[in-house]
Amino acid sequence: MKDNNCIFCKIANGEIPSRTIEENELFRVVLDVAPATKGHALILPKEHCRNLFDLPEETGAEVMKMAQKIALKMKDKLHCDGVNLVQNNEEPAGQTVFHFHMHVIPRYVDDGQTIGWKPAQLTAEEMDAVAEQLK
């Protein structure tokens, strides 16, 4: 299913030009327009889904295979020193475009980027309680 109002549907299906670095029947992989580092790419499924919560399980498995392929290519061709996979779901988690995408971000020594979080202050009791909830 495509969503006519979704920019990533249009990019993934070639209706809007993009800097495509890889494509197969399930995905188009494009450069992010506002890259965190040189080579920052997005894996876009050709079928519309909003995010991880409605991603078909089989597509999810294929996304990870593609992420590995792109990461290896970045290592080989860009000589990056590391890679971050980042995947945001819903607004509080930083999602701004509501078509599933996996960021593949090559990292370089001294690239000056910070991709991370500060540790939350949870008591041991709170940690025990959340572990129980998630079992």
Interface residue list for ligand AMP (CB under 6 A): 7, 11, 18, 30, 32-34, 42, 88, 94-97
Which residues have a Cβ under 8 Å from the Cβ of 42 and sit 6 or more positions away? 29, 30, 31, 32, 101, 102, 103, 104
Residue 27 vs 106, nearer CB to Zn ion: 27
Q: Which one, 48 or 73, has the nearer CB to Zn ion?
A: 48
CB of 124 to ligand AMP, least distance (A): 33
Rounded Cα–Cα distance for residues 63 and 60 (Å):
5
Residue 99 binds Zn ion, judged by CB under 5 A: yes
6 lies in the binding site for Zn ion (CB under 5 A)? yes
Reading phi first (left if > 0) and then psi (alpha if -120 to 50, else beta), residue 120 is in beta
Strand partners, 103: 42, 86
Nearer to ligand AMP, 96 or 121 (CB): 96
Residue 1 pairs with which residues in a beta bridge?
none
* Active-site annotation holds for 101: yes
Which residues does the annotation mark as catalytic? 101
